[in-house]
Amino acid sequence: MRQIAKTALAPALPENPPAAARPQQNDRAHRVLTDTQPANSRWPARLDLLQSLSGLVLALFLVAHMFFVATILISHELFYSVARFFEGGWLFGEPQPALVSMVAAGVTGLLVAHAWLAMRKIPAGYRQYHAFSTHRRRLRHGDTSLWWLQVMTGFALFFLTTIHLYDMVSQPQLIGPYESADRVWTGGMWPIYLALLFTAEVHGGIGLYRLAVKWGWFVGDDANAGRRRLRHIRHAFSAFFITLGLVTLLAYIDLGRAHADRAGERYLPPGQTTVDHGKH
Amino acid sequence: MITLFRKPKPGQAPRRLTLHILRCNPADPASKPYLQAFELEEAEGMTLFIALNEIRATQDPSLQFDFVCRAGICGSCAMLVDGRPALACRTLTRDYGSDITLAPLPFFELIGDLSVNTGKWMRGTAERLQTWIAQSEAVDLDALEARMEPALAEAIYELDRCIECGCCIAGCGTAQMNENFVGAVGLNKIARFRLDPRDTRSDAEFFELIGDDDGVFGCMSLLGCHDICPKDLPLQTQIAFLRRKMAVEGWC
């Protein structure tokens, strides 16, 4: 054992300056933490963490959101109940669509923060853009190309999400089987939702995968096997949510077309005669 | 094509290979980069290192490329093979088509043709990151060194296998955009010395070396380094580990 340690220490490191010129280790250690050499800012660490954290929260929101809107596949009543649940009528006595507005505004804020943080990594200027594009084409490497796909989908999401979120902030009361279906079909929003579905699910799936490898979560002892496993999960994630999203969107389109001649009519669950939520 | 099918059958005539080599001599201001094609006959078990030597011996003695050990230990012969970084001495021509394009590693200072000055950058990075054992107290050279658990010694040795070939830097998207990025080779060295009980530096001190966007927080986890490393170093795991440690250090 001692032999190994001695062997490791024996050769003089060429990088080491001569002993006389070399500062004492204590001095060096001291120097880096004093003002003679400004200490590294803590912000790159915090920004990196915040980027990951905001992405994680948005991805989890995306998953939950998809399940909520997909309740239309089970029944109109269930989707109606979910929409009303988030208006907090069960808590405040009366439905408060403003709550939905606030959540949508919060998600918008988080999205802006995430986009701003992620922009630190996007190639800036022609030189960086050209360097990365050349590198990506030359290397033909899965994860490098995947990141580029994430940049592209993220860029598209800058625009697509804001359209949808503005709707949710400004008209939170118009969430319901007929209301949403009318927005999708009569309101002509389905192309936006279709584009949003693919870009958000692909971006979110890649994002969660990259979060795991970036921080070393769920990778296990064998990094290569762990990454293969995570890659399969990512594919399954994107495939499942894109399929669920497509089927859900089709359901809204179908309902919207059937309801087109009565567009604007509010949905009333069976047995209810008045609208008990929000105002037109 | 699948490698298995490329193996020549007994009695089959050897393939004619064409190596398209990027030629450039930065010492000559009039020199402009161009691809030069060299033809040669493939031999059994031929590596790019053997092919390049044959070209230099029989066709063009001015062709510049580096090699020392021929066995994937010295890290001198790294180059872009069909666009991907690899060691010429460990690259079998049979794994490629009959047309192979060779170019010098990007990022590093070009000496000429396929030869780049990785050593200059590696030394600069080693000095910048202080990749040596730093001890807070003077070492008593007469005293017996403290014992180390074999598992720990193995773990340190695992990271010490880096041959500084530069493939990880050439395979890194971040390094292409930010020339100050320390790359996987730099981060791996920090991970190696952080593991070493003889190195008394704290995480706060390591943070001063790699806790910024030129260090671990610049890494975008594209993992080109991990997938390309000719020594199969656990770069993905090490960078993730350092990121966690430095994030804790930076957050507080």
For residue range A62-97, list pLDDT tens digits in order. 999 999 999 999 999 999 999 999 998 888 888 899
- The answer to whether B244 contacts A216, with C-beta atoms less than 8 Å apart, is yes
Q: Is the ipTM of this complex over 0.85?
A: yes
Residues in chain B closer than 8 A to A1 (CB atoms): 147-148, 150, 153
- The answer to whether B222 contacts A132, with C-beta atoms less than 8 Å apart, is no
Please give the residue of chain B at the shortest CA–CA distance from A38.
B208
Give the closest of B83, B209, B222 to A143, CB-based.
Answer: B222
H or E stretch including A259? none
- pLDDT, residue A207, reads 97
For residue range B13-33, list pLDDT tens digits in order. 899 999 999 999 999 999 999
H or E stretch including A227? helix A223-258
For residue range A124-180, list pLDDT tens digits in order. 999 999 999 999 999 999 999 999 999 999 999 999 999 999 999 999 999 999 999
Residues in chain B closer than 8 A to A47 (CB atoms): 217
Q: Is residue A79 within 8 Å of residue A71, measured between CB atoms?
A: yes
CA distance B240 to B233: 13
Q: Is residue A99 within 8 Å of residue A87, measured between CB atoms?
A: yes
Residues in chain B closer than 8 A to A15 (CB atoms): 123, 126-127, 131-132
Tell the residue number behind the tokens 């005669």, with chain if given.
A273
- The answer to whether B173 contacts A144, with C-beta atoms less than 8 Å apart, is yes
**CA angle (B75, B76, B78) in 5-degree steps:** 80
- Global pTM exceeds 0.90: no
- The answer to whether A123 contacts B222, with C-beta atoms less than 8 Å apart, is no
B203 vs A: CB within 8 A: no
Confidence tier at A212 by pLDDT (50, 70, 90): very high
Strands B34-41 and B109-112: unpaired
Confidence tier at A6 by pLDDT (50, 70, 90): very low
Restricting to B residues 160-179, those with a Cβ less than 8 Å away from any Cβ of A are 160, 171, 173, 176-177
Average pLDDT over residues A190-203: 97
Please give the residue of chain A at the shortest CA–CA distance from B250.
A42
CA distance A38 to B18: 54
B141 vs A: CB within 8 A: no
- The answer to whether A47 contacts B217, with C-beta atoms less than 8 Å apart, is yes
- What SS3 class is residue A140? coil
Length of chain A: 280
Q: Count Cβ atoms within 10 A of the Cβ of residue B22 and give its class: 0-12 exposed, 13-18 middle, 19 or more buried.
A: middle
CA distance A221 to B237: 9
Q: How far is A21 from chain B (nearest CA, A)?
A: 14
Please give the residue of chain B at the shortest CA–CA distance from A141.
B224
Q: Is residue B89 within 8 Å of residue B67, measured between CB atoms?
A: yes
Show Cβ contacts of residue A59 under 8 Å, excluding neighbours closer than 6 positions. Answer: A204, A207, A208, A211
Q: Is residue A266 within 8 Å of residue A178, measured between CB atoms?
A: yes
Query: Which sign, positive or negative, has the C-alpha torsion B238, B244, B250, B252?
Result: negative
